[in-house]
Each structure stands twice: as C-alpha cells, then as structure tokens.
Chain A
Amino acid sequence: MATGQLFSRTTQALFYNYKQLPIQRMLDFDFLCGRETPSVAGIINPGAEGFQKLFFGQEEIAIPVHSTVEAACAAHPTADVFINFASYRSAAASSNIALKQPTIRVVAIIAEGVPESDTKELIAYARSNNKVVIGPATVGGIQAGAFKIGDTAGTIDNIIQSKLYRPGSVGFVSKSGGMSNELYNTIARIAIGGDVFPGSTLSDHVLRFNNIPQVKMIVVLGELGGRDEYSLVEALKAGKISKPVCAWVSGTCARLFKSEVQFGHAGAKSGGEMESAQAKNQALQDAGAIVPTSYEAFEVSIKETFENPIKEISPPQIPEDLNTAIKSGKVRAPTHIISTISDDRGEEPCYAGVPMSSIVEKGMGIGDVISLLWFKRSLPRYCTQFIEICVMLCADHGPCVSGAHNTIVTARAGKDLVSSLVSGLLTIGPRFGGAVDDAARYFKDAYDRKLSPYEFVESMKKKGIRVPGIGHRIKRGDNRDKRVELLQLFARTNFPSTKYMEYAVEVETYTLSKANNLVMNVDGAIGTLFLDLLAGSGMFTKQEIDEIVGIGYLNGLFVLARSIGLIGHTFDQKRLKQPLYRHPWEDVLYTK
C-alpha cells in the first residue's frame, strides 16, 4: 500500500453505478471545502452514456456518463480514485477492471457481502501493483477539506458540525462506518470496512498517517475479531510510528456471551482469546498506544492528546434541497399538477375513489371505468351499458375510411404500433368522426331554444351549415341504419327520457321530406341520446351538461372506440406482412 497522502483538494474520482444522492453529497462537500473542481469527474453506468445533471453549489453541472470503466478512464486520465457502488455480486469484477487501469490508484468498494475469495484476489493484485483498496463493506473515507468518498460522514449538517470542511491534523481509522461518524465530531479520516479482510488494514492507514506531516496524532477504533490490530501492535513495537496513537478496540462485552456471537459487523465475530477486545487493547497499550479504560474515557484521551493547531474558517452556505426544506417545514412550494380522477399512492390504485379491487370484484365493465374516469361518478348500469354499446358500434368502420387508411399506410411503412395508431387518430376532426360532438351541440341548442324542426333546419341552412348527425352516403329513408335503430330501441326501453332523440327524429322526418338520404346517422343518434343520458339520469347539473358538451366528451368516445379498430388494422397489416404502400400513378390526376 502506498504511504502518505491519498487525496488532495484536486483529487477526482470516477463513480461506478450511478447513484444520485452519494454523488450529490460528494459535490456538496466539495463546494463546502471551496474546491474549484467537482470531485466526481465521470460516472460509469454500464450500458448508458450521456450526462447527469447535478448541483455544484448553486450551479447545475453536467457530469459525463460512460458505459465502460475503460472508456471513463480514457476520458478522464487525471481521475485516480474509483468509487464502486456496484452490488456485492458484481463489485469484484468491476473493481478488478478498475485496478488494472493505469490511471486508477485507489479503489473504494462500498458493497457489503463481497465473497472473501474475490476480496483476496483484489488485495493480492493491489499489493503487487502498489494500489490501494478501501473496503469492501466500507462507507468510504474522507480527507477533511479536500475529498470525500460517497456517503462518508453523513449529512451536510454533520459535516459542518464536525468541521470536516477544513483540513485537520488527526488521522482516524475505524472498523465501523457508523461509529466513524460519531468520532468525526472532533476528528477525521478513513473507515476501512467491517469485513474480515478489508482491502487495507488499520496499520496500513496508521503508517500512512505517520508519513503525512499535517497529521499530528492518530486515532484508531478497532473491534473484536480478526488480527488486524496486531499488525498495528507490531508497527508500534518496531518503532515505525512516531506520532501519538489513541486506540480503543470495542467488543469487551463479548465474554458476557455464552456461545459464539456474530455482532452487527461481519468481521466482528468473537473467536479466540487473541481476537478478543481485551487482548487487543492490552497489546496496543503494551506497545505504547494510549488506550483508555472504556469507550466513555476514549473521548477524554483524544482531547488530552490533541492540541488544536487549526485555524478556523467559516464554510459557505450550501443551498438546501427543496425536498429537505419542504420536509422540515421551512418552505412551501406550489404543485405543478393537479389530478382529481385517480390516485396511485395507496395500497392499490383508485379510480374516482373506487379501489381497483372493488371494480373487478363487483364485475364492473369498461363503461363503468369510463364513467369513473371521465365523469368522476358511478353511473347507473343502463348508462354504462349504453356507453359500451357506443364503443362497440364505433370501434371500426372498415379499411377505407380515412383513419383506418392512414393506419394501414403507416403500418405498411414499417412503423410501430403507436405511430400507426396515432396516424389514424390524427385524421379524426371536423370531417371525420367529429360529427357526434357537433350533433349534440346543435341539437341541444335547438331543443333548448324550443326551435321547431323547420326553424332549426332552415336556420342552419341560412348559416350554410349542414345539420350534423343527419345524412348518410348509402342509407335511405326506406333503408335505415341498423346501428341507429339498435340505439333507439335500447334507449326507448331503458332511458327515463329520450326527448332529445325524439326531437332529432322529428328533424329527420322534416329532412327526409327534402331528400331521401337525409336520414339520422349514427353520430346523430349517439349525440342526441347522450344528451338524454346526461339530462335523464338526474346525475348531472345543467352546468355540468353544458361543460361536457362544450369540452367534447363525445368525441372522446369516438376516439376511444375507433382506437380498437385502428389497433386491429395495424396488427392485421403486420400479420399479413404487407409491403410499403405506394399509391399508383394511374390513380393520380397529374395536371397543371
């Protein structure tokens, strides 16, 4: 392991496996320290490339994302620290690749549960190539005022309280990430990980601290299990450490347990006498370390040994994240979206307050779902049944109408389902399919103003508007549209009132007297019957009905229904493997 300073104020890292929070915490720390460059040069996110937006103080910066370790190292040759946030399954493989890159000097592995044999391979490679492995199972490490790995030292509040934003003079190494946070209150450096063979050992770091001139004293928090502390004992005995070392090994309570106990940390397993906390504390004390009688006295020992030569500086303010500020009740922010028809936050999604399970259990149909999501209320069964009939009747009208034609042409051009579908839907408008809404609007207006069929038709004629919902290409007075008849029959049997539709029938009688093809078409039937549904069900106020007609709900019904047919046409063309459609020259009139 290299001896001396691992990090500086210009150290940059590559971050493996994108995690927004730890990176943002590193950048916040950088800003707090007054670093000029962010400490994360690049991100490696297997299979992804591009940029990630993050904050550097008040400013947003874009950090490059690379899909491989090699590419990231080539793009950022000065980044010599590799921070590995991969899972325990893949951490060893990615760390291995990183260690082999000539630009990488330090690899920190956060994952807990990396197999011992994999870790040993990493250790062996790092040793023979003079590289440093921190972890696995580490929170990382920090050099006060210079560089911080991932989540080390917790929240910004704690970092400020522990004054980690300015350079320190105590080297600290611990087996516990959580406990290091505790000790950062006065001091700072590296937590090496709770595993049996963390990549670097207590003595590795203590020897390193001994070589750093700024470090005036060294604090070590070890724990029972393993022999790691003995390498420190050896180093002390051999006189390799000239600076005061304050040490405490936790786990003296192990002898209270009758059988072997695995404590919270994997490395902390109470084994033989040599590995006990008592034996290690004794050995450290005998070797010349300052060892208190209990953890409670540890802080006093550190303070007594420590002479504070640090000049205080005050750190800049880090802008608070909106989420944190809202949570603490300091600010409020307006929402940007409002939704009243559905809610997916609870145990199960609700449509207009009705949970999904009850929709299914009560045997509701698509008409009920439409009534919940469009009208925000449960309509009586005859209404939802009527809606379903409308959907069924309007689902398709053959391949020749403009919507289906467009869909077919698009599908044959090799486009995907959604493109083919919307290409058909985009033809729906004033000329194709839009007549339902207009029929409802004009008939409602005429009926409400009590116009006679004669007055209504003639006033429309004066304005040069054809009466929507009247007229058919094929159907005649003596050969009515079957669909219209079905709708009328259903409504007359089930609706409490069919006054709008009956009014339309009177209008039709008058138009038929003008021309035999001016029959009520399916748009007219649906449009007027929908008015009857809204008015007759007693579940809508007059304003609500005006709003529904005004917004164009009925067009929605057509769009929904026709989507079924358009999707069918798309699948049909794909199944038939139809080639690109090209309109024949013969069918075009070329003229000037």
Chain B
Amino acid sequence: MARKKIREYDSKRLVKEHYKRISGSELAIRSAQVTESTDLNDLIEKEPWLSSSKLVVKPDMLFGKRGKSGLVALNLDLAQVSEFVKARLGKEVEMGGCKGPITTFIVEPFVPHNDEFYINIVSERLGCSISFSECGGIDIEENWNKVKTIFLPTGVSLNQEICAPLVATLPLEIKPVIEEFITVIYALFIDLDFTFLEMNPFTLVDGKPYPLDMRGELDDTAAFKNFKKWGSIEFPLPFGRVMSATESFIHGLDEKTSASLKFTVLNPKGRIWTMVAGGGASVIYADTVGDLGFASELGNYAEYSGAPNEEEVLQYARVVIDCATADPDGQKRALVVGGGIANFTDVAATFNGIIRAMKEKESKLKAANMHIYVRRGGPNYQKGLARMRALGDEIGIPIEVYGPEATMTGICKQAIECITAAA
C-alpha cells in the first residue's frame, strides 16, 4: 500500500468525471493544466471558457499555503494568466524548507464567493474520518474548533443520521445540498480508492457545490482495479525532490526490475557512504550513523533488496562508488556495505556484482582513501564474505568483513572511528 499525492488538476478531474456517475447530477467544475509543453491555442480549443471568463491561476505542485505565499493570482484574463505563468515557470521557490522549480499550473474560472466550506476525508485503519466546517478557507487552522468530525467504520455507508452532526448547524436552505454533497464525495472517495481528500474551501455557485481548492491522495496499489476510472493519472514526486543525474539513473534501474534499488544523496561531501541490502536494514544503518552523532558525514541513503541479479547490482554499485569517491581530498572515507541476515537472497551472487564494481573502480577507491566495511549474513554468505576478503588482498584496499556473528550496525561505529582517526 502506498499513498500517492496527485495534482489538484487530477483530483478535480476525477471528482468531475465520477460525481455524475455516482450521483446522477453534474458539478460545474472547470479546470485546465498548464505546463512547459502546453500550447495555449490548443488549450483554448479544448477549454473555450478560458478566453471568455476571468481566471485564477496557481502552481499545482503538491504544496499548500499558496494563497499565503502570494502564488495565487485572481481575476485575470488569459493574457495575464499567460504572463503570470511565464514569469514563474521553471523558477525555483522555497516551500516549507523544500526548494524546487514550478513546472505545473492549474487555471480555473474566477469564482467570486462568500461562503467557504471545508471538507476532509481520511482513510484510517478501522474506517474513515470525515470532517466538515462552514468556516473553511485559508484561516481554517485558526477556526479549527469549528471543524466537526465523524468516524465511519469500514463497511458502514454514510446516511443522513450519521451525517447529521456535521451539518446540524447549517441554515435549512443549504443543508440538504451540503449533506448530499458530503455523501456523494464520500462514496466517490471509496469508489476511486482515495486515501485522502480535502476541499478547502468549496463554495456554492448557483446553489451547487463548487470546489475551489482541492488536495487528493490515491492508493496506488489499487491501480489495477482503477485502470479505467483513473484515466491517465500522474503521481508526481514530492515537491522539492529533484533527482540528480545519478539518482534518476538508479530510479530508472529500479523501475525496470522486480527488485528494489533506492539511492538518495544526502551530502555529496559526506565521508560515510552506505550500500545496504534490505528495506528495514538500510534505514537502520542510516539511523545509526546519525544516532552516533555523525549525521553530517552521511553521504547517502541506499538500499537494494528483492534479489536483484548480478548485473543490476553491478550497475547500482558503480553509481554508489562514483558518488562516494567524487572529489578526493586526501582525507579518509568509509563505505559501509551492510545488511542483515538475508532470508533467501544469495549473498555470494549479489556480492559478485559489488565486487566487480569495486575492481573496476579500484583507482578511484584508492584516490578517495576509501576504507570498506562489510557485514552480511544469509544463504551462501560464507562464500560471499570470503570473496570480499580476497578482494581486499587482490586490489590492496582496506576491507573489514563480518558475518552474522557481529552486530549488524557494528561497522557503522568502525566507519566513524575510521574517518575520525588521524589520517
């Protein structure tokens, strides 16, 4: 199960497309997406309202608080929208400590309104919680005490009685509309495998609900059931996650294989680098370097698991070693080739890939004054460890090798001792 954020444009597209199927009535949602590759003339042909209405434009980059950050422009005509986009497309912004370029915008009709409602649905272990407030909008956090929440256990469908606490205080003339809207949105949430949905705010246009701002997350493991319903859905990387060339190379490898290959550079100048087998263990190795007080020296997070073949490990290890040995400065560095006790992965086979990469990169490893620390257990580990030891003798690089008799993270301590000892 993996919950993936989707763009506001896609959230609204899904609501618009499926609201009618589920409720029989239509929502007048109109929105258009603008990216670097958008041709405005083509877009107008598809969405003629763009040239006839006043518009709103904002980045569609999975971050919130756009209004408060001055990234929303209201009441523009299309030419002004185009100018707004041009001035910001590809420009870096900083949001909540993450920096990244803006690549995607959403353009919608400008809807003057007074009412701002809030709805939020979150999937939880035993059901879903549904929150509603008649005081939505950018000040929702200041008005949090006005938010009402109900919890709907799995398998129970939403009816008037259960919904009542949410809408009890609404004026009679709008109460049925809102009640109906909440019910349909909840049904749509379940039907489309949403795991999170928020409209803040939505308003009423001609007496009908209209989402002004929306966030959504889908359960991407349900993709096989929703192939048709979701249409061409995009799961963008979280904002600020810009991959370097090496990272996207590994990402590409990862997508091509059934195994898992992850690589994130944390500090290109770090002196402790890791290449760890196993999803659980890789996190613990990174933790331990940090918990022992050397987070600042940690070069990367790297995980390989799911029995990658020798060739995949070779390509993967090349990249890790290249990054770890970049810009030698004469000071000692450490490469932690770690892992727990494998269930069934053939340790000797995966180590072959790593060993081949190390042989290829022998001079780089030496130039970077690299010390290598190995710890691993599992099927055929004796053979794998013996080959690692032999490699040390063969290419003359210091390699310390441990098996399951040693603690898993003991080599983190050694790596730290290595880089802190006098050169």
Contacts and interface: CB of A to CB of B under 8 A. Distances in A.
B130 to A, nearest CB: 15
Nearest to A300: B407
B305 interface: yes
Contacts of B343: 139, 151, 153-155, 177-178, 181
A116 B154 contact: no
Which of A116, A196, A263 is packed against the most chain B CB atoms within 10 Å? A116
B266 interface: yes
Nearest to B289: A253
B344 A251 contact: no
A578 B239 CA distance: 73
Contact of B127 (A120, A263, A267, A295): A120
Interface in B299-343: 301, 303, 305, 340-343
Interface residues of A, number: 67
B286 interface: yes
Contacts of A216: none
A70 to B, nearest CB: 23
Interface stretch (A254-262, A401-409, A410-418, A537-545): A254-262
Nearest to B224: A89
Contact of B292 (A114, A269, A296): A296
Contacts of B295: 253, 256
Interface string A257-283: 111111111111100000001000000
Interface in A289-314: 293-296, 299
A38 to B, nearest CB: 21
A257 B1 contact: no
Given A182-B408, A195-B1, A256 B221 contact: no
B404 A223 contact: no
Interface string B266-299: 1000000000001111111011111110010010
B131 interface: no
Contacts of B126: 120, 123-124, 127
**5 smallest A-B Cβ distances: which pairs?**
A264-B279, A176-B280, A294-B291, A179-B280, A115-B222
A224 B154 CA distance: 25
Which of B126, B264, B301, B343 is packed against the most chain A CB atoms within 10 Å? B343
Contact of A262 (B2, B155, B291, B380): B2
A253 B301 contact: yes
A258 B96 CA distance: 10
22 contacts: A120-B126, A121-B155, A124-B154, A161-B404, A176-B280, A179-B278, A179-B284, A181-B378, A223-B283, A256-B295, A258-B99, A261-B264, A263-B282, A263-B283, A264-B278, A264-B283, A265-B280, A294-B288, A294-B292, A295-B409, A296-B288, A328-B380
A164 to B, nearest CB: 12
Given A253-B298, A260-B238, A182 B341 contact: yes
Interface in B73-123: 97-100, 123
Given A253-B289, A258-B97, 19 more contacts: A116-B195, A120-B126, A124-B127, A127-B126, A139-B343, A154-B342, A155-B379, A175-B280, A177-B343, A179-B340, A181-B342, A182-B340, A251-B287, A253-B301, A256-B301, A258-B241, A259-B100, A264-B279, A295-B288
Nearest to B410: A296
Interface in A374-395: none
Contact of A295 (B239, B303, B379, B408): B408
Contacts of B284: 179, 250, 295
Given A252-B287, A259-B239, A120 B125 contact: yes
Nearest to A297: B291
A551 B237 CA distance: 69
A88 interface: yes
Contact of B190 (A114, A117, A176): A117
A260 B61 CA distance: 14
B283 A268 contact: yes
A158 interface: yes
A327 to B, nearest CB: 8
B340 A267 contact: no
A102 to B, nearest CB: 20
A35 B127 CA distance: 41
B279 A263 contact: yes
Nearest to A260: B238
A153 B154 CA distance: 33
A317 B205 CA distance: 77
Contacts of A296: 288, 291-292, 407, 409-410, 412-413
B153 interface: yes
B1 A124 contact: no
B2 A266 contact: yes
A185 B404 CA distance: 9
Nearest to B292: A294
Contacts of B377: 158, 182
Contacts of A118: 222
A367 interface: no
B49 to A, nearest CB: 35
Given A250-B287, A256-B298, A116 B341 contact: no
Nearest to B190: A117
Interface residues of B, number: 66
Given A178-B340, A263-B279, A120 B154 contact: yes
Given A182-B340, A182-B341, A115 B279 contact: no
Contacts of A153: 343
A223 B224 CA distance: 28
Nearest to A115: B222
A467 B3 CA distance: 85
A111 B195 CA distance: 20
Contact of A269 (B3, B280, B378): B3
Given A295-B409, A296-B409, A114 B98 contact: no
A43 B126 CA distance: 31
A257 B291 contact: no
B193 interface: yes
A194 interface: yes
Given A113-B221, A250-B284, A251-B283, A154 B341 contact: yes
A259 B280 contact: no
A158 B378 contact: yes
A157 to B, nearest CB: 8
Contact of A115 (B97, B193, B410): B193
A197 interface: yes
Interface in B390-423: 404, 407-410, 412-413
A94 to B, nearest CB: 16
Nearest to B153: A124
A95 B344 CA distance: 25
A123 B378 CA distance: 33
B153 A253 contact: no
Contact of A116 (B221, B380, B412): B221
Interface string A129-158: 000000011010000000000010111011
Nearest to B225: A115
Nearest to B154: A124
A498 interface: no
B262 interface: yes
B219 interface: yes
Which of B127, B280, B377 is packed against the most chain A CB atoms within 10 Å? B280
A155 B280 contact: no
Nearest to B298: A256
B70 to A, nearest CB: 22
Nearest to A178: B278
B266 A257 contact: yes
A259 B266 CA distance: 11
A195 B98 CA distance: 27
A196 B1 contact: yes
B287 A158 contact: no
Nearest to A249: B287
A119 interface: yes
Nearest to A184: B341
B121 to A, nearest CB: 13
A157 B341 CA distance: 11
A7 B222 CA distance: 32
Interface string B210-247: 00000000010110110000000000011111000000
